[in-house]
Amino acid sequence: MKIIICGGLRIDYLISAGGQAMLNQIGGNAVYAAVGARMCTGEAFLLARAGENYPQAWLDELGTKGISPAFVRRVPGWQEMRTFYAYLDEKTRVDHDPEIHFARIGRPLPQELEGYSYSTIDTQNPDSALALAGEDVPQGEMSGAAVHLAPTALRSQYELVREFRQRKVSQVTVDPGEYLLTQQNARTIRGACALIDAFLPSDLEVGLLLDTADPYEAAEIFSSWGPSLVVIKRGPDGCLLYERDRQRFTTVPAYPARVVDVTGAGDAFSGAFAAALWQTGDPLRSALMGAVAASFAVEGYGALYALNPPQDEVNKRLGELSAMLRFD
């Protein structure tokens, strides 16, 4: 029994809203999602590509923490795996012009960021050496496995979904990601949605894919494309869960956490949702677990900050959120 998290591995460089710089950190949406999944399961497996410049020591460290790199594929040469974020305030983030932002805090541009463009230049390009493809899916039947696809190139997601379904995986969930989403390429998303169990877009992605900003209408439209479960992530407003078989909408609020860094919160939510759904089959419980995972992720810096939170605190937050649910 495995849960496999597909997505990107990154080398993170961050300037906080308070002007603190954190350099050369483990990052990537696959890692954040795997940390969320680990709140619900004993081990998560990464499916990703990494250039020769991605530290092997980091992969080894992840393996010791229950996030197996067994399906990480090395690709030849140096690859663009850097991510830079500068927070102008707690809600405003930019991912370009690092020299300007380091100058703003009185520091020179780190040598490692020379030549940097923007954070997803390779992973969102389906022809990149880092873009996942159907050939990356492990061989053999995988009827005991669940798979979650973190944001990556749309063509990559479609290939992966089809390949995993041919391997007879038990459950597939997809987070589409905001880059390159347009109504013109919604056809690719629809093709993937026809084969998945749950679709987890954000409010922003709803606006990019559909003519409506109404999350209720959007959830029904997405569900008509195939998935029986739709979760629309709404940042500080929590999420909207739609269960097609029960014709039920549920608003799950965000837990009132002490927000330090929102990087990866949506990925942590999605990983925890996927793992909890695979274990329990209960969509509402899974949405609550996602909200709890996101609440831990925002309380500190770095992809591994939320790994293995105290179980009594997890249960406490689950109970508090359960009391705040709203059924529509």
Q: CATH no. for residue 259?
A: 3.40.1190.20
Q: Pairing mode, if any, of strands 93-94 and 82-87?
A: antiparallel
pLDDT at site 122: 56
Between CA 111 and CA 134 the distance in angstroms is 36
**What pLDDT sits at residue 89?**
82
pLDDT at 159: 95
The residues, any chain, with a CB within 8 Å of residue 200's CB and separated by 6 or more, are 173, 174, 175, 176, 230, 231, 232, 233, 269, 270, 273
Please choose, from the candidates 300, 297, 277, the residue with its C-alpha nearest in 3D space to the C-alpha of residue 231: 277
Confidence band of 258 (pLDDT split at 50, 70, 90): very high
DSSP-assigned letter for residue 21? E
pLDDT in tens, 191-200: 999 999 999 9
Q: What is the percent of the chain where pLDDT is above 90?
A: 81
Q: How far is CA 40 from the centre of its chain?
A: 16
Would you call 323 helix, strand, or coil by DSSP?
coil
The order of strands in the sheet holding 239-243 is: 67-74, 44-50, 2-6, 145-149, 171-174, 198-199, 229-233, 239-243, 248-252, 326-327
Mean pLDDT over residues 163-187, rounded? 87
pLDDT of residue 154: 87
| pLDDT band (50, 70, 90) for residue 186 | confident
Residue 243 banded pLDDT, cuts 50, 70, 90? very high
Strand, coil or helix: 103: helix
**Which of 33, 22, 6 shows the shortest CA–CA distance to 233?**
33
pLDDT of residue 124: 59
Q: What share of the chain is helix, strand, coil (3-state, %, to 5)?
A: 35, 20, 40
Which range, 32-36, 138-142, 201-205, is most confident? 32-36
Range of the domain at 26: 2-327
Instruction: With a cut of 90, say whether residue 265 has pLDDT above it.
Output: yes
Structure tokens at 133: 């493809």
Q: What is the pTM of this model?
A: 0.95
pLDDT at 7: 96
Q: For residues 88 and 17, is the Cβ–Cβ distance under 8 A?
A: yes
Count of structural domains within the chain:
1
pLDDT of residue 298: 94
Mean pLDDT value across the chain: 93
Copy the structure tokens of residue 24: 């050369």
pLDDT, residue 180, reads: 66
Whether the predicted pLDDT of 256 surpasses 70: yes
What is the phi/psi pair of residue 183, to 5°?
Answer: -65, -25
Q: What's the rounded Cα separation, in Å, for the pair 171 and 326?
A: 27
For 270-297, the pLDDT digits (tens) are 999 999 999 999 999 999 999 999 999 9
**What gap in Å lies between CA 170 and CA 90, rounded to an integer?**
38
| Interval 106-154: pLDDT, tens | 999 999 999 998 766 555 566 789 999 999 999 888 998 999 999 988 8
Q: What pLDDT, on the 0 to 100 scale, is given for residue 328? A: 79
pLDDT in tens, 40-95: 998 999 999 999 999 999 999 999 999 999 999 999 999 999 999 998 887 688 98
Per-residue tokens: 6: 């597909």
